[in-house]
């Protein structure tokens, strides 16, 4: 169906049936944004889902999602359209959230910071919800740099790497005891002596978190520091959203979308806030 961005997702629970095949579905000769076209498409999807005895899951971009939602909401309770699960397209949501970050961080120095790596025109595109892959990489680099600065502020050292373990032991007298314990735990984990679960349950992580929280509270007294401390949660939400999309983690998807909503509102992206 030319121009129609929705698609139906089926789930195969049995063993793999073999090589997949692709066929053209019937074409609805209408404007893709026309309500009649969307309604006919939803009815066809319900019919196909009933054949396979699977719940119909349909993904739309924002304009068609809103119209499809209105159609399904206004249907009678016994209508077969009520079983359709409508889902907003992840890529467009990602773009809108990147645009929200760019707008909220305007004038903060983020543009100049990214220009160290990217050309000025490229940064303009990245912060205006385009060039998604490049924007994600750029924002993640900035987040990592901020975390390193935060660790230096909290402990006087940067994050340890595997090849730094000898230096860490040699200079342990100059380092905080928390860092020394963390480095030892890290070395044991790399050597396979600790599991992920044992590391998560280690008291040293709680001590590090307590120290970081105290540092953030102290830094938040400055308006500039507070702004950049608010930047990190935004990139963290972005990371979790991408993980949810790529792994099919529905609970994480909902959690990420919920946390995005205040930023959509603050940035004036009201359509996605709806």
pLDDT tens profile 66-93: 899 899 998 888 888 888 888 877 888 8
Global confidence as pTM: 0.67
Counts of helices then strands in the chain (DSSP H, E): 13, 3
What per-residue confidence (pLDDT) applies to 107?
Answer: 86
Report the 10 Å Cβ neighbour count for 109. Answer: 11
What per-residue confidence (pLDDT) applies to 202?
Answer: 82
Distance CA 92, CA 76 (A): 30
| pLDDT tier, 176 (very low <50, low <70, confident <90, very high otherwise) | low
Q: Both 33 and 48 in a single domain?
A: yes
Domain ends where: 41, 68, 88?
88
Q: Is 16 a member of any domain?
A: no
Domain ends where: 42, 72, 88?
88
Q: Is 122 a member of any domain?
A: yes
Q: Both 171 and 236 in a single domain?
A: yes
Q: Both 65 and 104 in a single domain?
A: no
pLDDT digits (tens, 9 = 90+) for 144-156: 988 888 888 777 6
Q: Both 159 and 250 in a single domain?
A: yes
Which residues fall within 8 angstroms of residue 133, CB to CB, at 6 or more apart?
A: none
- Chain-centroid distance of CA 159 in Å reads 24
What per-residue confidence (pLDDT) applies to 63?
Answer: 82
Q: In whole numbers, what is the pLDDT of the chain averaged over residues?
A: 81
Q: Both 71 and 40 in a single domain?
A: yes
Q: Both 164 and 56 in a single domain?
A: no
| pLDDT tier, 170 (very low <50, low <70, confident <90, very high otherwise) | very low
Q: Both 34 and 122 in a single domain?
A: no
Q: Is 19 a member of any domain?
A: no
CB 219 within 8 Å of CB 225: yes
Q: Both 51 and 136 in a single domain?
A: no
Find the domain containing 54 and state its range: 28-88
Q: 103: part of which helix (H) or strand (E)?
A: helix 90-104
Q: How many folded domains does the chain comprise? A: 2
Tokens representing residue 133 in the block: 């892959």
Q: Is 51 a member of any domain?
A: yes
Q: Is 214 a member of any domain?
A: yes
Q: Both 68 and 170 in a single domain?
A: no
Q: Both 198 and 110 in a single domain?
A: yes
What DSSP character marks residue 24? P
Q: Both 38 and 139 in a single domain?
A: no
Q: Both 230 and 109 in a single domain?
A: yes
pLDDT digits (tens, 9 = 90+) for 91-102: 888 888 998 998
> Angle at the Cα of 8 (from 5 to 14), degrees rounded to 5?
150
- Pairing type for strands 85-88 and 57-60 reads parallel
Matching residue, tokens 């660790």: 151
Q: Is 9 a member of any domain?
A: no
């Amino acid at each position: 169906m030319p121009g129609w961005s929705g698609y139906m997702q089926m789930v195969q629970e049995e063993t793999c049936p073999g090589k997949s095949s692709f066929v053209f579905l019937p074409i609805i000769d209408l404007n893709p944004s026309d309500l009649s076209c969307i309604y006919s498409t939803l009815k066809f999807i319900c019919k196909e889902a009933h054949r396979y005895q699977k719940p119909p899951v349909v993904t739309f971009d924002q304009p068609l999602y809103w119209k499809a939602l209105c159609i399904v909401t206004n249907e009678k309770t016994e209508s077969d359209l009520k079983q359709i699960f409508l889902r907003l397209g992840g890529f467009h949501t990602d773009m809108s959230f990147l645009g929200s970050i760019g707008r909220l961080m305007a004038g903060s120095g983020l543009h100049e910071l990214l220009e160290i790596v990217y050309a000025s025109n490229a940064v303009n595109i990245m912060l205006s919800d385009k060039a998604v892959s490049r924007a994600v990489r750029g924002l993640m680099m900035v987040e990592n740099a901020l975390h390193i600065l935060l660790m230096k502020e909290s402990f006087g050292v940067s994050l340890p790497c595997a090849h730094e373990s000898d230096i860490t032991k040699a200079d342990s007298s100059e380092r905080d005891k928390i860092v020394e314990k963390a480095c030892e735990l890290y070395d044991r984990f790399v050597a396979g002596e600790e599991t992920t679960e044992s590391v998560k349950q280690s008291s040293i992580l709680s001590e590090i978190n307590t120290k970081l929280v105290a540092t953030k509270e102290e830094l938040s007294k400055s308006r500039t520091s507070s702004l950049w401390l608010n930047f990190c949660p935004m990139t963290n939400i972005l990371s979790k959203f991408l993980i949810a999309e790529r792994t099919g983690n529905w609970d994480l998807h909902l959690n990420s979308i919920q946390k995005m909503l205040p930023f959509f509102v603050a940035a004036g992206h009201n359509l996605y806030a709806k």
